[in-house]
């Protein structure tokens, strides 16, 4: 299957006791589907995976695959630092019905590339669905070089997906240097969505904040109507810019999550400690920028 389009990556919603909120997670999936998402992604930086236990990560995988119920393909990020734990999550995601896996490199200082290749190779060897790395030098300290990516692709033909996030020139170089071997999904809140399509990326994995609008932008680009795509893209570009300026997962959690929750008809949003407090100015800016956006509530 050729995976393409806009795949919003889900937030982790918690209740007042900081437990995963089942109803809010289900409502989020339904809102993304109503908004025209081409796929769903989960357990990325905006899912606050660093605050989740292994059991909770497994729970989210099961919930999301159950709620999507085959209506859209689902990509699951595997972000365990050890091979055994990462394989446990990867195999659980495959068994639950995930379409492909985003394999996050261990963020271990001083880890050489040969060790990274062995880590990725062990994960690719342990699953049979398409997979590939998350290369995000804008927000992560460890990424794979083009030569390492080519080695892994040759050794494991299903190692052919990539969440290659960064400025458009970085992504363009990834495409060129890996000789088109990977279906690359950009991110960074969709800042360069139209150019992401132009350079031949498979799609975009933004937070769900305005993913419905971004899915329409992608559809215009697919249809060759670049003027309509650019006009619509400009309408939400200030929101994407506000979300990406600090380039931290916590910024998405404290501002993007309540913003999306309001659009999706999800009630009170609770953080999981430790978390920063929203500044009234930030909330007011998003409120102003989001005026006129349609509701995604059922």
Binding residues: 205
Torsion from C-alpha of 9, 272, 243, 295, nearest 10 degrees: 60
Which value, in Å, is the radius of gyration of the alpha carbons in the chain?
Answer: 18
Place of tokens 């993304």: 32
Question: CA-CA-CA-CA torsion for 36, 42, 45, 47, nearest 10 degrees?
Answer: 90
Binding residues for pyruvate: 205
Distances (CA, A) of 39 to 71, 75, 203, 238: 9, 8, 10, 24
- Burial tier of 6 (Cβ tally within 10 Å: 0-12, 13-18, 19+): buried
The set of residues, in sequence order, having a beta carbon less than 8 Å from that of 234 and lying 6+ positions away, is none
Strand, coil or helix: 41: strand
């Amino acid at each position: 299957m050729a995976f393409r389009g806009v795949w919003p990556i889900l937030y982790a919603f918690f209740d007042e006791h900081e437990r995963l909120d089942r109803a809010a997670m289900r409502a989020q999936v339904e809102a993304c589907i109503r908004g025209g998402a081409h796929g769903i992604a989960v357990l990325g930086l905006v899912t606050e995976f660093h605050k989740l236990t292994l059991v909770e990560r497994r729970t989210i995988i099961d919930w999301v695959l159950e709620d999507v119920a085959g209506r859209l393909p689902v990509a699951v990020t595997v972000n365990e630092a050890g091979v055994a734990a990462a394989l446990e999550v990867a195999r659980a995601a495959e068994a639950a019905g995930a379409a492909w896996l985003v394999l996050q490199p261990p963020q271990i200082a001083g880890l050489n590339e040969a060790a990274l290749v062995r880590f990725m190779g062990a994960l690719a060897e342990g699953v049979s669905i398409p997979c590939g790395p998350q290369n995000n030098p804008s927000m992560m300290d460890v990424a794979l070089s083009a030569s390492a990516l080519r080695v892994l692709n040759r050794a494991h033909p299903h190692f052919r997906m990539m969440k290659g996030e960064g400025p458009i020139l970085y992504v363009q170089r990834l495409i060129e240097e890996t000789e088109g071997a990977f279906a690359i999904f950009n991110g960074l809140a969709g800042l360069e969505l139209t150019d992401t399509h132009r350079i031949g990326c498979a799609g975009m994995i933004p937070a769900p904040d305005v993913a419905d609008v971004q899915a329409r932008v992608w559809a215009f680009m697919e249809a060759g109507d670049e003027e309509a795509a650019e006009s619509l893209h400009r309408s939400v570009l200030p929101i994407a810019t506000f979300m990406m300026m600090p380039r931290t997962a916590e910024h998405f959690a404290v501002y993007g999550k309540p913003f999306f929750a309001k659009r999706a008809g999800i009630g009170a949003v609770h953080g999981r400690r430790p978390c920063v407090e929203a500044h009234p100015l930030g909330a007011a800016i998003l409120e102003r920028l989001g005026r006129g956006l349609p509701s995604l509530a059922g």
